[in-house]
């Protein structure tokens, strides 16, 4: 998506905001880490948040 939207894979200096970890298995935070951006992922399910944290 970064390549398509911004024509780059370097997202340093950008903030990515998303809601829910859902079935993504924590892929969104990992993608943020790989691309260098700040990821803010809001999860309302304590169980889902703990599961991803413990992975």
Would you call 11 exposed, middle or buried from its count of C-beta atoms within 10 A (0-12, 13-18, 19+)? buried
Give the position of tokens 């990821």: 39
Whole-model pTM above 0.85?
A: no
Is residue 29 within 8 Å of residue 40, measured between CB atoms?
no
One digit per residue, the tens of pLDDT, for the chain of length 55 reads: 788 888 988 899 999 898 877 776 678 888 889 889 999 988 888 888 888 888 7
């Amino acid at each position: 998506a970064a390549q398509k939207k911004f024509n780059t894979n370097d997202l340093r200096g950008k903030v990515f905001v998303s809601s829910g970890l859902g079935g993504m298995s924590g892929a969104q935070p990992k993608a943020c880490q790989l691309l260098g951006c700040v990821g803010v992922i809001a999860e309302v399910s304590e169980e889902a948040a703990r599961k991803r944290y413990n992975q």
